[in-house]
């Protein structure tokens, strides 16, 4: 019998589950402080809900569910599918419950998504997304708040070297126009530019050529991007100022482009006020894969990882695909798996999370007759807030101590015949091998004191 | 465009999501205090992992996933499936990682499961289970600890009238023998008995008759069960004592049955020690649906709900279906959806959970020029631990106040031109309509004091 998880799936054993729980609880706390409300949507969606929302490539990666009963078996028809991201389900939810949701609906959602991708390092077929989205306003305050919340998540998790690239779909289109890339090839050009980090200038040149973009346009575009990436300033604030000035110059009288630049300028100004100015860097070559973005786009990185640790943007037309009414929206998604990868490699978790066990105390079993007494003691310690494991069998005490040590549980308590006679409990501190006797009513306090002293 | 969730699926909007979060956080806290470790398994399993584990009826309710690519499309073959419960995946995990897991592996797992059932009131196709299981020991201490943990969950959630029925598969089989039900009809008899609560004595008689059980045996069995249910004692402790005495009498020299009764006696004794004696009631007619149970079985109820709010039991042979080694196990699953149903109907949630919004303060926007100042103020308040929403647009103040009121956010702060000049902030308390001016550095404290005063 094969006992491995299915291809691209993972079993999250306790140590990793604790790490995930730690990261998720911080992200959740930050999002709640920013006034985002929790939302959950089903893993299973009607297949039509997902069709035609992600673009051609992504659409092929949706997991499809066979129709139930004899009909499905015979026809092989799939009528349901697993959610591919949390944004399209949100758009459906906003369209469906518009009247019951606040006008400026701000939600966070932390749930797994499913993609039938070829599995690889850090790439799985089931993975968590941690999304925040703000619905109902086109104000740049929305982008600034979402960026500030994301920065606070990364900072609270312990990242010191992250930054967020900022760009705008309108600005990108204007740059493509300025380089005379034909409109019908715009999305091809974006796909090529998106790879600049990975395949370099030459790689992008040949990719664009392969996609039918004239060499002259490709060269011009890369010149513009190069000039925007090298402003001659190390200081983020002046880097951004010069990049915006050059954008104005390159884009000229392209209206949508000029509005895009103005939008970026305003977002940066608000980020400055919110105290995250140093974290945001204009990057004209940031393209983002998904087709539904319409305005500002953003992507978070750390220096030692080429792939991003989060990203998002404004998508003012997606909800309209589900509803007669066009409702503006902007969101950001933190990539939990990448965060966990980096934090594990850099050993960024607190010692408490990294212990072999969550339990702080183990109650040993002296003999079968007194097992009930052990359970009673365990209840008393739990009522004092301690996390307590009870050894299940009346094995030899040495074996029980050894088991506690193997689980990294540092305190074992025993009520032997003598202790019972005197109303005491034996407390063994496995770190130092010391064993003392404590009055039963002071056991919890004794252990808590010792826990505090070692952290 | 259809924007409803798929059949039997639900969108969990913020109010319900907060309620779920509240219940889950309490259950998680209790389980951790009992030394259970977190585990997560994938929603998608290889189809063979699930096949033949649940019995005939349940097996037909598994959601199947179409094979990817052209092959799946053409053949309609399903190679993957969605998990049906959390127990079978756990058995697979124990078999796969045995060497990396502690000998007495205790895990909790709170994840959704998927069943293609006909949807109905409180019955969905995606729903959460909150499971605890203890692997590796046949000791009755395990049952006692699992029952104690479950009782503490219910009590902490505010239930005062719950109780847990306790029975034993070995005892049931012995009773069937005593009533001379043919062995090959035992599982039919169990299915019929399981419905006693719902369809009554006459219903069970005719169901058994329909399943080929002799009327004489059926009548005898119901007599035995009746005698076990009516001990003439209101007091739980003596009820259980009399029930066990009668079981010994009815079962006679059936070895497995006698061991089952002794096991129940010991579990009850340990539960007594752990302080939950009053909650546990021997119920010889408790059968439980799933086929994998081998020892003690249990089911939690409240008086006003016929269906259970949790259940579990010992399953010593399931892990052996995945591994050469037979490893004993016992578990309990709290039904989150039923709990939520009852708690919502009985209004058992704290006021904090039931508010229209999680945010405690809204920062208003005085005008576009000062929007950055509003973001700065929001950051300051969040750093003081407050949950803060920022209004996104420079609308008229009255409109902003109205919006805050509609969201049940009771405090709105504004920095107008005058306040900015004096380093102050206007704080509007919407509950009383009062507006005061406070020094900027004391705003957070002022709001916190007012929040404390109203709870």
Q: Which of A139, A330, A381, A21 is nearest to B40 (CA)?
A: A21
Instruction: Give the domain A14-345 fold.
Output: BirA Bifunctional Protein; domain 2 (3.30.930)
User: CB of A268 within 8 Å of any CB in chain B?
Assistant: no
Given this model, what pLDDT does residue A73 score? 65
Share of chain A above pLDDT 70, in %: 97
Reported confidence tier of residue B21, pLDDT bands at 50, 70, 90:
very high
Q: What is the mean pLDDT of residues A381-394?
A: 96
Q: Tell me: the pLDDT tens digits for A436-445?
A: 999 999 999 9
Given this model, what pLDDT does residue A358 score? 87
User: CB of A35 within 8 Å of any CB in chain B?
Assistant: yes
Q: Tell me: the pLDDT tens digits for A119-145?
A: 887 789 999 999 999 999 999 999 999
User: CB of B133 within 8 Å of any CB in chain A?
Assistant: no
- Which chain A residues are Cβ-neighbours of B137 within 8 angstroms? 392-393
Q: Mean pLDDT across chain A, nearest whole number? A: 93
Exposed, middle or buried: residue B78 (CB in 10 Å: 0-12, 13-18, 19+)? buried
How close does chain B come to A56, measured CA to CA in Å?
A: 14
- Asked if the domains B14-345 and B357-454 are classified in one and the same CATH topology, the answer is no
Residue A455 has pLDDT above 60, yes or no: no
User: CB of B19 within 8 Å of any CB in chain A?
Assistant: no
Q: Which residue of B has its CA nearest to A266?
A: B372
Q: What is the mean pLDDT of residues B193-207?
A: 90
Query: ipTM higher than 0.90?
Result: yes
Which pairs from A182-189 meet CB under 8 Å and 24+ separation? A182/A213, A185/A211, A185/A212, A185/A213, A187/A291, A188/A212, A188/A213, A189/A213, A189/A221
User: CB of B44 within 8 Å of any CB in chain A?
Assistant: yes
Q: What is the mean pLDDT of residues A281-306?
A: 90
- Which chain A residues are Cβ-neighbours of B13 within 8 angstroms? 39, 93, 97, 100-101
Domain limits, chain A? 14-345, 357-454
User: CB of A64 within 8 Å of any CB in chain B?
Assistant: yes
Q: Which residue of A has its CA nearest to B124?
A: A42
Q: What global pTM score does this model have?
A: 0.93
Reported confidence tier of residue A71, pLDDT bands at 50, 70, 90:
low
Rounded Cα distance between A437 and A413, Å, is 10
Mode of pairing for the β-strands spanning B310-314 and B388-390: unpaired
Instruction: Write out the two tokens for A149.
Output: 């919340």
What are φ and ψ of residue B169, in 5° steps?
A: -60, -40
Among the ranges given (A261-265, A370-374, B430-434), the one the predictor scored with the smallest mean pLDDT: B430-434
Candidate from A4, A77, A92 with C-beta closest to B96: A4
Q: Given an 8 Å threshold on Cβ–Cβ distance, is A75 in contact with B72? A: no
User: CB of A21 within 8 Å of any CB in chain B?
Assistant: yes
Given this model, what pLDDT does residue B67 score? 84
How close does chain A come to B321, measured CA to CA in Å?
A: 8
Instruction: Give the domain B357-454 fold.
Output: Rossmann fold (3.40.50)
- Which chain A residues are Cβ-neighbours of B267 within 8 angstroms? none
Residues 320-349 of B with CB under 8 A from A: 321-323
Given this model, what pLDDT does residue A56 score? 65
Mode of pairing for the β-strands spanning B361-363 and B411-414: parallel
Residues in chain A: 455
């Amino acid at each position: 019998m094969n006992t491995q998880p299915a291809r691209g799936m993972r079993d999250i054993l306790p140590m990793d589950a604790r790490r995930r729980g730690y990261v998720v609880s911080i992200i959740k706390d930050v999002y709640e402080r920013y006034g985002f409300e929790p939302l959950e949507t089903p893993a299973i969606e009607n297949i039509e809900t997902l069709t035609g929302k992600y673009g051609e490539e992504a659409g092929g990666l949706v997991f499809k569910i066979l129709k139930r009963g004899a009909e499905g078996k015979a026809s092989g028809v799939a009528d349901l599918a697993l959610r591919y991201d949390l944004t399209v389900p949100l758009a459906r939810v906003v369209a469906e419950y518009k009247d019951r949701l606040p006008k400026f609906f701000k939600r966070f959602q932390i749930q797994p998504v499913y993609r039938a991708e070829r599995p690889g390092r850090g790439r799985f077929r089931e993975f968590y997304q941690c999304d925040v989205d703000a619905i109902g306003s086109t104000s740049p305050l929305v982008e600034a708040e979402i960026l500030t919340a994301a920065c606070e998540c990364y900072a609270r998790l312990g990242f010191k070297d992250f930054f967020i690239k900022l760009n705008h779909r309108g600005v990108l289109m204007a740059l493509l126009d300025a380089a005379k890339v034909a409109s019908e090839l715009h999305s091809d050009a974006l796909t090529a530019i998106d790879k600049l980090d990975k395949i370099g200038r030459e790689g992008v040149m040949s990719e664009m050529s392969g996609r039918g973009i004239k060499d002259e346009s490709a060269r011009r575009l890369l010149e513009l991007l190069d000039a925007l990436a090298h402003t001659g300033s190390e200081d983020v604030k002046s880097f951004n100022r010069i990049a915006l000035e050059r954008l104005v110059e390159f884009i000229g009288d392209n209206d949508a482009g000029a509005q895009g630049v103005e939008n970026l300028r305003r977002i940066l100004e608000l980020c400055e006020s919110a105290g995250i100015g140093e974290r945001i860097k204009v990057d004209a070559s940031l393209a983002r894969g998904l087709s539904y973005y319409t305005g500002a786009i953003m992507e978070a990185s750390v220096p030692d990882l080429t792939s991003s640790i989060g990203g998002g943007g404004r998508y003012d037309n997606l909800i309209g695909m589900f509803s007669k009414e066009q409702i503006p929206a902007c969101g950001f998604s933190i990539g939990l798996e990448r965060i966990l990868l980096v934090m594990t490699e850099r050993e960024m978790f607190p010692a408490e999370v990294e212990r072999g066990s969550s339990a702080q105390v183990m109650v040993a079993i002296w003999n079968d007759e007194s097992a009930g007494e052990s359970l009673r003691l365990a209840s008393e310690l739990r009522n004092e807030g301690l996390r307590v494991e009870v050894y299940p069998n009346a094995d030899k005490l040495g074996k029980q101590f050894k088991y506690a040590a193997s689980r990294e549980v540092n305190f074992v308590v025993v009520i032997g015949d003598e202790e019972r006679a005197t109303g005491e409990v034996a407390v063994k501190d496995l770190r130092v091998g010391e064993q003392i006797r404590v009055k039963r009513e002071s056991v919890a306090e004794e252990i808590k004191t010792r826990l505090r002293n070692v952290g």
